[in-house]
Amino acid sequence: MIITKRIIPTLLISNGKLVKTINFGKKTYVGDPINAIKIFNDKEVDELILIDIDASKTQTSINYKLIEDCASECFMPLCYGGGIKNIDDTSRLFSLGIEKICLQSSIFKDPFFLKQLSNKYGSQAIVVSLDIFKNFFGNYKLVNSSNGSEINKNIISLLKELEQLGAGEILLNVINKDGKMSGMDFDIINNLSSNTNLPIIALGGVGSLNDIKKAFVSGASAVSAGSFFVFNGPHRAVLITYPKQEEIIKIFEDI
């Protein structure tokens, strides 16, 4: 059975350490990113996403030494996001072995930066991260995670704009679901995937293999998770896991 859809761990980095958050809030230390990558190598994961959650917020420089160490250890395609501001940043990241870059705040500041990158590197190398919050009234709002501000744009219209500017994929993260492992927001996954040609990487809320399957049924091209791959049991003990090949095959049996 040939599987083309991907199941991707997302690792969050803060001050060089591997952390997890709940609703983008308090950070919990879960280990060393290099050790995590080594374990994921052994488990033969499809791809890995590495996000520095502090770089854009604090306007600090990208930790190139850490990225170089991660890329040299990583046997699978590696996507990096956090603090990317210009072409020089992207060129250096690609030279270190990063295969994709993940952008958000720099695109909100200058959408044509995306066009510039797409022309230079190709859309296949560019992921745009969209963080979405579902408010009390059930409305979905775009959030700039670098400062917590709301982006006053229609999400569907933005997807069309991003496609025209050369985005290759969308990393869709629902803030309400972040870190809770209580199930994903399948409605928004279905809505967005039905209204764009861009592949959607669904992130946020995975609590079971069935959630992953439902996300694919809802239209996701890939499913990503953080807590589900690093925590185990009701006390959230740190244990890095990834579905076995037979479990992955079972996920796709009825899709």
- Candidate list 52, 54, 131, 178, residue with the active-site label: 131
pTM of the model: 0.94
**What CATH number does domain 6-252 carry, 3.40.50.300, 3.90.180.10, 3.20.20.70, 3.30.70.260?**
3.20.20.70
Q: Domain locations in the chain?
A: 6-252
pLDDT score of 145: 86
Residue whose tokens read 């870059």: 101
pLDDT score of 39: 96
Q: How far apart are CA 212 and CA 121, in angstroms?
A: 30
pLDDT score of 1: 38
pLDDT in tens, the chain (255 residues): 344 799 999 999 999 999 999 998 888 999 999 999 999 999 999 999 999 998 877 777 899 999 999 999 999 999 999 999 999 999 999 999 999 999 999 999 999 999 999 999 999 999 999 999 999 889 999 999 888 888 889 999 999 999 999 999 999 999 999 999 999 999 999 999 999 999 999 999 999 999 999 999 999 999 999 999 998 877 788 899 999 999 999 998 877
Mean pLDDT of the chain: 93
pLDDT single digits (tens) 142-200: 999 888 888 889 999 999 999 999 999 999 999 999 999 999 999 999 999 999 999 99
131 catalytically annotated: yes
